[in-house]
Chains A and B, each alone.
Chain A
Amino acid sequence: MNHDAPSPSAAEPLLNLRGYTVHLNSPRGTVRAVDGVDVAVARGRTLAVVGESGSGKSVLCRSLLGLLPDAAVALRAGTAHFDGVDLTALGERELRDVRGRRVGMVFQDPMTALNPVLPVWRQIALPLKRHLGLRGRAAKARAVELLDSVGIPDPARRADQYPLQLSGGMRQRVMIALALSCDPELLIADEPTTALDVTVQAQILRLLDRLRAERDMAVILISHDLGVVADHSDDVMVMYAGRQAELGPTASVLAAPRMPYTRALLDAAPTLHGPRGQHLAAIGGQPPDMSRLLSGCAFADRCPRVQDRCRTEVPAMTRPPGSAHEAACWNPVPPPRPGGGTVTGISAARRESSRT
């Protein structure tokens, strides 16, 4: 996966978040949905964002494009520079020119994210008209081309069909064609394969990899599937309760996780190579109440390596000695002995399953 590409620190990042924070209004008070995130993505590279439900992954991406209802956002702080422009400083009208045109978005469930009453080509024609001024025959021809480019067979016939006439995998391809219709520089894929069959998942992820390489696009891949992350991302950011837990090159984070939460996530993921009958390690306890102000590490209550300091001081992202990536932890997991790595197990398992 892009191993000859320059590292993200060497390339000028396309998207650069510094101290990015989003607080949401909820009936129980303010929720710190995203809390001080520092991360960057360069063109041609894929950043995976990993975390359990409610960890702030989707809020992070939706708030970047101003897609959360105004009334829901209690506070937005920090900066989000996209190609030199701070997205947090843009108004709704300016953001509308960024959405779809410069940043495309693919949603989790193509059953609900496509309009059931519009033929496929009409849905694609709307952003084409809005951003590129294409109308009528030109718009339809371009829509058919796009359907072809995402691997939909017989695109001219499919263009006239409604979403309910397409299979789940094909609908997600339509969703991708829609997101890429105006040649965006950044693609945000919010759990693009969660709603799909395993075999179709692999096809869609390979399609995203191919399109990213062809278009030199930056990709943010939101996922909770570590196998997907291992095979389809360059860098990974692990989030827990709205905060960053671990960030760095995917191979390094998955092979030598330093934050106990990441370790626990890896232990909870199934592999084909573990001994038969082995129980997966579930993470004990519940994520913290995010409407409470936490005085220490958000994972402290569930952490097997917890110390007194973890409950009183918030750990910053730092690079532990001997690590190739950053983690936010006062008592990091020691690096594994050379030779034994979990990442090889996961990606081997994934490769095997996608071959069948």
Chain B
Amino acid sequence: MTARYLLTRVGQALLVLACVAVTTFALGRVLPGDLATAVLGQSATPEQIAEFHHKTGADRPAVEQFWSWFTGVLHGDFGTSALTGQRVSDALADRAAPSLLLVLLAEAFALAVAVPLAVWAAYRQGRAADKAANGASFLLLATPQFAVAVLLIYVFAVRLGTLPATGYVPLDEDPAQTFRTLLLPAVTLALGLAAVYYRVLRAGVLDTLRQDYVLAARAQGLTPRQVLVSHTLRPSLLPLVTLVGLNFGFLIGGAVIVEQLFALPGLGTYALGAVQTRDFAVLQGTVLLIAGVYVLVNLAVDLLYGVLDPRIRHAR
């Protein structure tokens, strides 16, 4: 885990982001459809469209457009939405918060349920507790997200009335209310995640429990808790850590269904709208931000590997 290794990884991350920037930009140019028709309507005259293109810079050469956008990004300016006129950086700042909070909460809930359950089920392999947990995880995996969401809304918002069904209150207005509005969508996401995490970790723990050092730990008279927590959990965590990292990156922009169902103003919904209207400044900015989070999280995951397993640390 040297500084040199860290530097290499950061360099790789920046290279990935540069590639993402070029690709999204290019993708926007080759897609059929025109923002002008979306803004001005189907009845717009060719003159009106040409004027719109000139105003938004769409008539300049692609390389020039890319360069002016890219230098802007380096200064924190992602351009403005041609559709709404809003600065993209402001919109991203507003929408990143609910997305990040949603994913953080969902991951936290999922791990809080899946980790203890997986360790316990693996320890009691084949017994009633294990069978019940396995059945529950299959049920959750097979249930579509929207069904879970609708059920949760029905129980907690409609019948009990304890939690809001839709909407979002920003963190700086009322943190408690932010948490309440995020609770149901986070639980919806978490249930699906927990089922996957449970299965992956349970398999890892079962594998570790077969190791000689676990038998040796039992031969030392350690309690089941010591054997499981001190000896078994850490060597079993690597596949789970990978998966948590991948899901984190994916859900930042990919939780569209949940964002839509609970009317959360998140990044996924924002990007989806931009694709539909060909609002390229918005699309490019959102994709770049999501890619940035993805790269950052996976860099953290790689570093965490070394912390969890000295064999990886010393192999580097």
CB-defined contacts of B234 to chain A, threshold 8 Å = 117-118
Q: In the assembled complex, how far is the CB of residue B222 from the closest CB belonging to chain A, in whole angstroms?
A: 6
Instruction: Out of B126, B211, B223, B231, name the residue touching A130 (CB < 8 Å).
Output: B223
Query: A97-B221, A115-B235 are known contacts. Are A105 and B310 too (CB-CB below 8 A)?
Result: no
Since A65-B219, A164-B314 are in contact, a sample of 16 more A-B pairs with Cβ atoms closer than 8 Å, ordered by chain A residue number, is A67-B219, A96-B221, A100-B221, A105-B220, A112-B212, A114-B216, A116-B235, A117-B309, A122-B230, A126-B222, A126-B230, A126-B231, A162-B310, A162-B314, A178-B220, A182-B221
Closest 8 CB pairs of A and B: A100-B221, A99-B221, A100-B220, A112-B212, A105-B219, A127-B220, A162-B310, A113-B216
Give 1 or 0 for each of B213-234: 1 = CB within 8 Å of chain A CB.
1011111111100100011001
Asked if A165 is at the interface (CB within 8 A of a chain B CB), the reply is yes
In Å, the complex CA distance between A165 and B220 comes to: 23
In Å, the complex CA distance between A99 and B219 comes to: 6
Contact A67 B215 (CB under 8 A): yes
Binding site for A on B (CB under 8 A): 126, 211-213, 215-223, 226, 230-231, 234-235, 308-311, 314
Instruction: Out of B212, B215, B222, name the residue touching A127 (CB < 8 Å).
Output: B222
Contact A115 B213 (CB under 8 A): yes
Contact A116 B220 (CB under 8 A): no
Which of A113, A117, A130, A162 neighbours the largest number of chain B CB atoms within 10 Å of its CB? A117
Instruction: Out of A117, A129, A131, name the residue touching B308 (CB < 8 Å).
Output: A117
Contact B221 A109 (CB under 8 A): no
Q: Could you tell me how many residues of chain A have their Cβ less than 8 Å away from some Cβ of chain B?
A: 33
Chain B contact surface mostly: helix
Asked if A101 is at the interface (CB within 8 A of a chain B CB), the reply is yes
25 contacts between A and B (CB under 8 A): A67-B215, A71-B126, A99-B218, A99-B221, A100-B221, A107-B212, A113-B212, A113-B216, A114-B213, A114-B216, A115-B213, A116-B311, A117-B234, A117-B311, A122-B230, A126-B231, A127-B222, A130-B221, A130-B222, A130-B223, A162-B311, A164-B310, A175-B216, A181-B220, A182-B221
In Å, the complex CA distance between A131 and B222 comes to: 8
Q: Of residues 107 to 148 in A, which have CB atoms within 8 Å of B's CB atoms?
A: 107, 109, 112-118, 122, 126-127, 129-131
Contact A67 B218 (CB under 8 A): yes
